Each structure stands twice: as structure tokens, then as C-alpha cells.
């Protein structure tokens, strides 16, 4: 088991499949960065799925594009630009919704596509060495040290905020009226959740890219939601499926030369599909079986 590296070729192929990429420094980095990103996204995704904010996640991720472009052009950290524009978009969405009779999904649709389009136009007009393809699809295998630092800061901030406010945020998702009734500042919690959402997207930008980040923000939570009725279990399952997908996805993308973000999301989706079909209580199979048992309890819609 403790065989020195020199004996690598003798190890069984599975172990070699796992160890060989680690000899490349960028792969070690890519693996732990993606595992970290997977953890942050998974924690937040529990709140996002329960709050029904998936579309908002999609909106924020697209709205960060002009921020990233501007940041690169001005030589600022990409995370700063992305956060300002991502969070700014949510504030604008809230404002437009309160001032018009439009439903929220229409407002979100208008604002985020507007931001996104503006970002695309900017990217071609502002001279900078920003690679649009990397913003859109992520590039964890080529992540730079400064990007790693920004990812770590954004992700750690998110985790700390959620850790400190996790009960209140959960109450806010479940019953904002009760939160208000006991004197909590629900307005503040609304913006707290939006800012950690924007921070999480900043965290995942380099790994998954703008187009796919919403999957990392929704799928792990959705998978876990199908598997349990307890929030702490939901958190654990969400993190587990997410981290497994991130690590395995990074390996697969290395070995099979596939895009990392895409591979991770495909794995997450496969896990979701498995949960959807085989979940012990809320899976399609068990719901079909239970339907024929008298007195079977199901989570009704």
C-alpha cells in the first residue's frame, strides 16, 4: 500500500489512474480547488433550492460577465468586478420588481440577459487579454495563483457567513413571516442570502464557468432534497455528491481530455437522475410501489 512513487507502474491500474495525474502540479491544484468549490456550492445549493431561487442563481451568474471584463480591463481582481455586478443585478431586479407589475421571472429574464449581452459587447470592445471562452466555460486546469486566492477568499467568506447565520437563513427560507415576527431583520437576511449567492458564483466561476455554474448551485441541493427530510442530512448529502462529482469530474476531464466544468456537471446530473429514480422515499420507483400499498405516505405536491 505504501509503495514509493518509483513503483507506480506496478500498481494496479485504478490506483495509477488516480495517482498519475497528481504528478502534475496543476492537477493537484485543480483537484483541491474544485473540491473546495464543490463544497461551497453544495452548502449554498441547499438554501437556494429550498428558497426557490434557482432562476436567481442563473441570473446572477450571467450578470457577472460585464464585471469580469471591466475588472480585467482595469487590472482589478476579477472577483471584485464579478461580485459588484452580480449583486448589483439582484438589487436592480428587486427594484424593478417593486416598481412594475411584472412577475419576478420576467424581471429576472430581462435584467440578466441585458447584463450578459452588455458583457459580451464589452468583451469584444474593451482591449484586455480576457478570454471570453474561459469566463463562459471555466478553466480550472489552468487556474492562476491569483485566481485561486480570490476563489478561496470568496468561498471562505460564504462558508463563514452561512455557518454563522445558518439557522436564521433556514428560517428565512421556510417562514420569513415568523422570522419577522420574532424581530429578525428579514430585509438584511434577503440581502445576505443574495450576497452569498453572488460570492458563491464568484467562487465557482473559474471551475464551472458562467454557463454551468447554476448547475453546481442547484443540482446538489436538489439531489439531496429527494433523499431526506432532515436539513442537516440534506447538507451532508449535498456536499458529498458535489465533492465526489467535482473530484471525479476533474480526473475524467484530465484522462479523457474533456472540459472540466462540463464533466463535473454531467456527473452531478447523473447522480440527480439516480436519486430521482431510486430515492428510498421520494424516488419514482418507490412512489410507484407505494401507490399500491394501503396507507403509504408520500410527500404530496
- Interface residues with other proteins (CB under 8 A) are 50, 101, 164-165, 167-168, 170-171, 173-175, 177-178, 180-184, 225, 228-231, 233-234, 297, 299-300
Residue of 169, 163, 164, 162 whose CA lies nearest to 184? 169
Nearer to other proteins, 113 or 298 (CB): 298
Minimum separation from the CB atom of position 234 to other proteins (A): 5
Nearer to other proteins, 181 or 289 (CB): 181
Minimum separation from the CB atom of position 189 to other proteins (A): 12
Tell me the C-alpha distance between 243 and 74, whole Å: 34
- Check if the beta carbon of residue 166 is closer than 8 Å to that of residue 117: no
Reduced to 3 states (helix: H, G, I; strand: E, B; else coil), residue 103 is coil
Nearer to other proteins, 182 or 256 (CB): 182
Minimum separation from the CB atom of position 25 to other proteins (A): 39
Minimum separation from the CB atom of position 105 to other proteins (A): 16
Start-to-end C-alpha separation, the chain: 51
Nearer to other proteins, 129 or 300 (CB): 300
Minimum separation from the CB atom of position 163 to other proteins (A): 9
Nearer to other proteins, 179 or 264 (CB): 179
Name 294's Cβ contacts closer than 8 Å, sequence gap at least 6: none
Amino acid at each position: 500500500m505504501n509503495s514509493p512513487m518509483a513503483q507506480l507502474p506496478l500498481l494496479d491500474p485504478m490506483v495509477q489512474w488516480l495517482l498519475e495525474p497528481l504528478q502534475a502540479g496543476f492537477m493537484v491544484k485543480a483537484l483541491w480547488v474544485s473540491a473546495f468549490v464543490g463544497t461551497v456550492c453544495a452548502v449554498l445549493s441547499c438554501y437556494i433550492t429550498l428558497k426557490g431561487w434557482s432562476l436567481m442563481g442563473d441570473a446572477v451568474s450571467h450578470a457577472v460577465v460585464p464585471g469580469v471584463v471591466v475588472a480585467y480591463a482595469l487590472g482589478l481582481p476579477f472577483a471584485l468586478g464579478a461580485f459588484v455586478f452580480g449583486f448589483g443585478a439582484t438589487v436592480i431586479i428587486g427594484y424593478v420588481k417593486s416598481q412594475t407589475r411584472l412577475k419576478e421571472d420576467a424581471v429576472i429574464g430581462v435584467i440578466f440577459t441585458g447584463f450578459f449581452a452588455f458583457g459580451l459587447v464589452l468583451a469584444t470592445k474593451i482591449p484586455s487579454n480576457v478570454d471570453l471562452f474561459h469566463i463562459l466555460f471555466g478553466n480550472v486546469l489552468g487556474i492562476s495563483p491569483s485566481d485561486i486566492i480570490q476563489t478561496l477568499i470568496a468561498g471562505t467568506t460564504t462558508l463563514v457567513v452561512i455557518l454563522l447565520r445558518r439557522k436564521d437563513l433556514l428560517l428565512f427560507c421556510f417562514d420569513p413571516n415568523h422570522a419577522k415576527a420574532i424581530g429578525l431583520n428579514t430585509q438584511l437576511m434577503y440581502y445576505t442570502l443574495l450576497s452569498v449567492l453572488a460570492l458563491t458564483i464568484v467562487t465557482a466561476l473559474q471551475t464551472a464557468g458562467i454557463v454551468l455554474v447554476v448547475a453546481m448551485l442547484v443540482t446538489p441541493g436538489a439531489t439531496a432534497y429527494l433523499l431526506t427530510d432532515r436539513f442537516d442530512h440534506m447538507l451532508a448529502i449535498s456536499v458529498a455528491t458535489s465533492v465526489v462529482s467535482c473530484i471525479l469530474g476533474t480526473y475524467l476531464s484530465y484522462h479523457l481530455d474533456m472540459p472540466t466544468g462540463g464533466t463535473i456537471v454531467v456527473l452531478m446530473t447523473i447522480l440527480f437522475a439516480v436519486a430521482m429514480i431510486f430515492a428510498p422515499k421520494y424516488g419514482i420507483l418507490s412512489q410507484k410501489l407505494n401507490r399500491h400499498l394501503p396507507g403509504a405516505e408520500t410527500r404530496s405536491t
